[in-house]
Amino acid sequence: MPLKHFLFVIVLFISFIQTVNAAQRHPDPDGCFSCHALEGLDYIDKNGVLRSASIDKQHYYSALHGSVPCKDCHRRIREYPHKVENGEVDCANSCHVEEPSEGEPYTHKAVVKEYKDSVHGNGWYKGLTGGNRFREAKEAPVASCRFCHGNELYIREAELPKFKEAFDHLDSECGSCHQGEIWLGQFGGHILRRFIGSRWNKNDHNKMCNGCHADHERMAKVEQKNEKTGKKEKTGPRFILASDSYATTLHGRLLETNVMQGASCIDCHAPKGFRHGVLRDEKSDASTHTDNLAETCAQSDCHAYATHPLNHRFVKTDLHDIDMIPVNNSIVPRDQSRLESGWVKALIALSPIIVILGGGSLLWWLFGGKKKSVTFSILGGDAFQEKMIGRKPKSKVKKKVHQKKKPTATLTRKEAEDE
């Protein structure tokens, strides 16, 4: 503790000398930046990891929440210096945006509830904020809010001119009904941003999901509860390689080349609600449950016909087909079930023929075939002669005709040459 006090004094002292360059978006009413704006504000945490508590002002002010005072979210901090744990944020709490008609602060409770019920919801840390970013980034099997909702720009750079233009008309267009500072100043911007369009496109969604799901090692550690036995079990290759198998589908390929008609991960796995409710296929209200698939596919522009009764097999098309990814994948535990597929059986049936034909070709190429005449295939050659050319294949004719007709042939040849 004395060390911290000492630090604090030094920090205060230096902060007076510090000049602030970033465009300040709020006056920092709680004075947090007196310390946190300092460079090199490092400490060693419980696990002995060196952590930095410095905040880059420029970075912060340009971030999504750059206009929100620190204590609006970090509510448990009441004194300096504060405990590390008190810095944690509970995303389910109410927040700075006020719903003007009722005057109630906005809250993410509904979103958090949806998320908590989802596969990702039994988070490793209460309040879904994630405590230790390092541990979360490396090991957490399920993601907290922050994992996906980074402090990125609220409005994309490319959309900013559009937003500004709309914002200029805010007074005249929205303002005729919704008056007052809160409506227009705070809420208006939020609504407007959504109006301009979603900030993320499908590729951003996929990138977000792939942040974890494309990491085979991490996915191999995931355990899922077996609904029958109630025990936690390791997942199989289907789960671990889900991102790879998706990439082989047309959905994945279209998005990869920026054709936005392809379906992203959450287009199928969380198409409804706040798009946080990813559920396991087995759950009856999952969008990917067999009973709901038709509806899920039909919601898009692409497969509106999916609900047609004759298409009921179509919607069962395997979009995470393990047969499409390399059989020999060292990360995934060898699973005998992968060898049971019809494809593998077909291969076993086809390969001997290839080997025989290939070997024959090679031997023929090396040693045989000196005879210069028309050759017909060993497989189907006779049928070709009979059906297409309309003559008896040599192999069948030989015995009978060989002696009789041969002189005629030489004779006719001569005749032909004479002519």
**Residues of this chain, 340-399, that bind other proteins according to CB under 8 A:** 341, 343-344, 346-347, 350-351, 353-354, 357-358, 360-361, 364-365, 368-369, 373-381, 383-384, 386-391
Per CB under 8 A, the segment of 5-13, 58-66, 162-170, 411-419 that binds other proteins is 411-419
- Report, in Å, the least distance between residue 369 CB and other proteins: 5
- Report, in Å, the least distance between residue 334 CB and other proteins: 14
- Report, in Å, the least distance between residue 109 CB and other proteins: 38
Phi then psi for 367, rounded to 5 degrees? -115, -30
The reply to whether 23 sits near other proteins by the rule CB under 8 A is no
Contact positions with other proteins (CB under 8 A) in 297-336 = 301-305, 307-308, 310-311, 313-318, 321, 323-328
Alpha carbon of residue 115 to chain centroid: 17
Q: Residue 23 or 327: which CB sits closer to other proteins?
A: 327
Alpha carbon of residue 236 to chain centroid: 18
With contacts defined by CB under 8 A, how many residues of the chain interact with other proteins? 78
Angle (CA) 371-372-376 rounded to 5° is 90
**Which residue from 106, 104, 78 is spatially nearest to 93, judged by alpha carbons?**
106
Contact positions with other proteins (CB under 8 A) in 265-304 = 301-304
Residue 175: Cβ-neighbour burial (10 angstroms; 0-12, 13-18, 19+): middle
- Report, in Å, the least distance between residue 265 CB and other proteins: 18
314 Cβ contact list (under 8 Å, min separation 6): 306
- Report, in Å, the least distance between residue 398 CB and other proteins: 12
- Report, in Å, the least distance between residue 237 CB and other proteins: 12
d(Cα 314, Cα 318) in Å, to the nearest integer? 9
126 Cβ contact list (under 8 Å, min separation 6): none
227 Cβ contact list (under 8 Å, min separation 6): 282
Angle (CA) 128-132-137 rounded to 5° is 85
Q: Residue 40 or 309: which CB sits closer to other proteins?
A: 309
The reply to whether 257 sits near other proteins by the rule CB under 8 A is yes
Q: Residue 200 or 376: which CB sits closer to other proteins?
A: 376
- Classify strands 50-52 and 42-44 as parallel, antiparallel or unpaired: antiparallel
Q: Residue 187 or 246: which CB sits closer to other proteins?
A: 246
The partner residues of 104 in beta bridges, in order of sequence, read 99
Contact positions with other proteins (CB under 8 A) in 83-112 = none
- Report, in Å, the least distance between residue 41 CB and other proteins: 43
Contact positions with other proteins (CB under 8 A) in 128-157 = none
321 Cβ contact list (under 8 Å, min separation 6): 245, 248, 249
- Report, in Å, the least distance between residue 294 CB and other proteins: 11
Contact positions with other proteins (CB under 8 A) in 208-247 = 244
The reply to whether 248 sits near other proteins by the rule CB under 8 A is yes
Report how far apart, in Å, the C-alpha atoms of 62 and of each of 20, 56, 288, 315, 378 are: 14, 10, 38, 44, 75
Q: Residue 180 or 358: which CB sits closer to other proteins?
A: 358
